[in-house]
Structure 1
Amino acid sequence: MYPAQRQPPLKTPRVSWRAWVVGGWALCALAAHANAPCSKPLYLTFDTGHMGVASLIAEVLNRQQVKVTFFAANEPTKEGDGSLGEYWAPWWKARGAEGHAFASHTFDHVYWRSDLPRDSWRMRPTTGTRKGQTEAWTSQRYCDQLQLANTRLEQITGVKPLPLFRAPGGKTSPSLLHAAKQCGFMHVGWAEAGFLGDELPSDKYPNALLLERALNHLHAGDILMAHLGIWSRQDPWAPTVLEPLIEGLKAKGFCFATLKEHPQFKAWIR
């Protein structure tokens, strides 16, 4: 046997104190940047629709690490038993696990038509057992619709929805908004530039035009609104426009948050 050869001792590389200090400052700066609040927030929201692009939208949001607020009604869908039915329940549950926020869009997607005397309104559901029927509604009936959507959302996501709502079409009146507040719901509209145009006819408003308009006109604090599928649009807005829109807005220094962080609603939500 040959005698074991002695290896020279390993030398630990010497690091100057300057390197330690610079490295430490760099790590601190990175941590501070990661935790720093964004100075240019945007609030992306989605209303329900036919759900045909819902899975693709979820993929984009995950890839871009963007959290949004979903306003949900039990609308007819291309697949399954309604957007809040059992077929789509796993999709909603997954969005809850990812940290998105939820709020009511009225369970039967109920449109305000006009005010009536004594705190009542002419309303028309677009789905459900009273679909297409214009009727006089009391405040209690409307409040029940708002709560029914939130109850269903919590049941399938395990996440308590926000005490907010968006009226279908954004159509309301001062007396309707007052009645909704009395039962715990504040209305959420959208900024003029935040109307992302997925409801518009694609022959007159192609995706490229809608993308350019949003990138050039949005401002910090704006609420953005799109849908999980629009029946009438021939060239779907989502997900074609969604990812380049998010990337373009990030390049301009914008970030995204749910409505839980919006200054107009934070105190109400608490």
Structure 2
Amino acid sequence: MKHQRLISIAAALLLGCFSLGTTVNAYAQAPNCNKTVYLTFDTGNMSVAQTVADILKRQNVKATFFLANEKTFRGDFSLEDSWKPYWQELVKDGHHFGSHTYDHTYFVKDGPKGEVFEKPQFGPKAGMTILYNEALMCKEIRRVDVRFQELTGQSLQRIWRAPGGKTSPTLIRMGDMCGYQHIGWAPAGFLGDELSSDKYPNQILLEKASRQIQNGDITMAHLGIWSRKDPWAPAVLEPLIVNLKQRGFCFGLLPTAHKNLADQSK
């Protein structure tokens, strides 16, 4: 009797381990989904870049990354050769990529004759308000594509995102004429990683996104933010992915034939 009881306990333990493994694997694969969400990340300061890549790999989901040559927590810039292995790793993992303008150039206002005023955050003209015509704006968007090909041997998808999501119809038209579709994000998809940790703790951000994201939404977060004291990843990212899988979501890549795609914004 004692022997049989020990066998039963051992069997139960093995079953428990098997069930746990099955659950983890189910989260990783998420084969049964009837809704789609699009995870996107802007470069930022890259402080959680590897953490994000590791989580996406572990959860077996793909995302779309929008790249600018931003200053990183290491003191270098995100499109320098020092980041080449990272971008090559993401390419190998099957993610998609778009331009975030090379110098993280913010839209200020429309110009007088079909141009736009922009303010680069980085580069030799950082902080200056400059008038861009279509050719100059196209060069600023496409420069990321050229550099990405140098780093990885692969072109960007023909998509871009204006820093801060700040645009005008004129700016959108410029990108279109250059062959790059502008990608914004859904209101519920603003994941809040750039907000104050004190006012918007990670648990609040996680609960809000897990509850509010709907079918077809595009999300937006960064690979690191200078101002946030309590890092958003991994605290929010991995539980959010698990929660969305439990709600029946799979994870799509951009671009897609999503209607109103360019109109989704903060």
The alignment's TM-score, normalised by the length of structure 1, stands at 0.83
The CA deviation at 1:35 is 11
For 1:170, the equivalent position in structure 2 comes to 165
Within the candidate set 27, 35, 41, 1:40 is matched to 35
Contact 1:165-1:188 at 8 Å conserved across structures: yes
Matches within 5 A, 1:1-270: 38-264=33-259
* Number of residue pairs aligned between Structure 1 and Structure 2: 233
Q: Which amino acid aligns with 2:92?
A: A
Deviations 1:172-213 (A, max 9, x none): 100111111111111100000000000111110000000000
In 1, the alpha carbon distance for the partners of 2:257 and 2:100 equals 18
Larger Rg: 1
Q: Which amino acid aligns with 2:191?
A: L
Gap regions ≥5 residues in structure 2: 1-28, 262-266
**Same amino acid, percent of matched pairs:** 49
The CA deviation at 1:223 is 0.2
Q: Secondary structure at the match of 2:118?
A: strand
The CA deviation at 1:263 is 3.1
Q: Which amino acid aligns with 1:142?
A: M
The CA deviation at 1:137 is 1.5
The CA deviation at 1:261 is 4.0
The alignment's TM-score, normalised by the length of structure 2, stands at 0.84
The CA deviation at 1:155 is 2.0
In 1, the alpha carbon distance for the partners of 2:205 and 2:183 equals 22
Gap regions ≥5 residues in structure 1: 1-33
Contact 2:41-2:64 at 8 Å conserved across structures: yes
Contact 2:206-2:236 at 8 Å conserved across structures: yes
Higher helix share: 2
Contact 2:102-2:140 at 8 Å conserved across structures: yes
Q: Secondary structure at the match of 1:223?
A: coil
Relative to structure 1, the CA distance from residue 150 to residue 265 in structure 2 (aligned partners, 3 Å threshold; closer, same or farther) is: farther
In 2, the alpha carbon distance for the partners of 1:154 and 1:80 equals 23
Deviations 1:53-76 (A, max 9, x none): 101111100100010000000000
Contact 1:102-1:153 at 8 Å conserved across structures: no
Q: Which amino acid aligns with 1:146?
A: I
The CA deviation at 1:146 is 0.3
Q: Secondary structure at the match of 1:208?
A: helix
Relative to structure 1, the CA distance from residue 174 to residue 260 in structure 2 (aligned partners, 3 Å threshold; closer, same or farther) is: closer
The CA deviation at 1:158 is 2.3
The CA deviation at 1:239 is 1.7
